[in-house]
Amino acid sequence: MAPKQDETKKQQKKATPHTATSGTPTKATSTKKKAKAENAQPPNDKTPGKPKKPRKNADNERQELLIAHGRMVIEQFFRSAGLNPDELLQETDQDELTCWGYLWTEVHVWVYLVQQKTGSQLWVLSPMVYLPEKRREAFYKRCLDINHTLSQCAVSTYNDRVYLSAMRPLEGLELMGLAQLLEHLSSMSQAVASDLHKRFEAPLFKEVPPGNDDDDTLHHGTH
């Protein structure tokens, strides 16, 4: 009787599938999965097919939309003030800069759109005075003291000029916010320029610096 039991066990082993106990697929199953995986792979560059359209970088597209929005808000601001934004456009030597220049009473104001991959910005500059010939150290200290009291803007220097500047992201820019920023910066520029002029005899800003007709300025985008 024992030999019959052995034969029965052998038959059971033959009938038992591999996958029931080991959990590993048979060779046939592996081949099928491999075939499916190979079929799922995308065609390479040499495979003939319908040409794909080049995809535009999402970040660049977003920045272009922000610039377009910023331009619309700025032009709307100038039109609401009775000004023609096209007549206020200034030449720059940098493609990523767009600049408008105007006068607020006696204050020069330059409004820039700055296109950047990391985030496009609104940049506002108001040139106030030129650096004084004397007492430079005391002059710079006074500028720092003024900065300590300012909000939404700051005193800065470039070459021989002193500016009041403000920068903010274009994200969320609205007409009312722009108008408030420009009015605040313009009024503060007038007050700071007057202070520096009286204390240090710093020459007030003019379109062409005295005795230097060839001077490059931020006005023309050379920063």
Q: Say which residues have a Cβ less than 8 Å from residue 84's Cβ, sequence separation at least 6.
A: 78
Q: How many helices (H) and strands (E) does the chain have?
A: 7, 6
- Using an 8 Å Cβ cutoff, are 203 and 170 in contact? no
Instruction: Give dist(CA 40, CA 43) in Å, integer.
Output: 9
* The predicted structure's pLDDT at residue 69: 93
User: Helix, strand, coil: what percent of the chain each, to 5?
Assistant: 45, 20, 35
Instruction: Give dist(CA 185, CA 156) in Å, integer.
Output: 13
- On average, the pLDDT of the chain sits at 78
Kindly report the pTM of this predicted structure.
0.66
- Per-residue pLDDT of 25-69, as tens digits, reads 445 555 555 445 445 454 455 555 555 555 557 777 888 888 999
What kind of fold does domain 58-220 have according to CATH? Yope Regulator; Chain: A, (3.30.1460)
Q: Say which residues have a Cβ less than 8 Å from residue 19's Cβ, sequence separation at least 6.
A: 25, 26, 29
Q: Hey, CA dihedral for 106, 188, 192, 223, is it positive or negative?
A: negative
Nearest to 80 by CA among 186, 177, 175, 183: 175
- Per-residue pLDDT of 144-192, as tens digits, reads 999 999 999 999 999 999 999 999 999 999 999 999 999 999 999 999 9
* The predicted structure's pLDDT at residue 56: 59
Domain ranges of the chain: 58-220
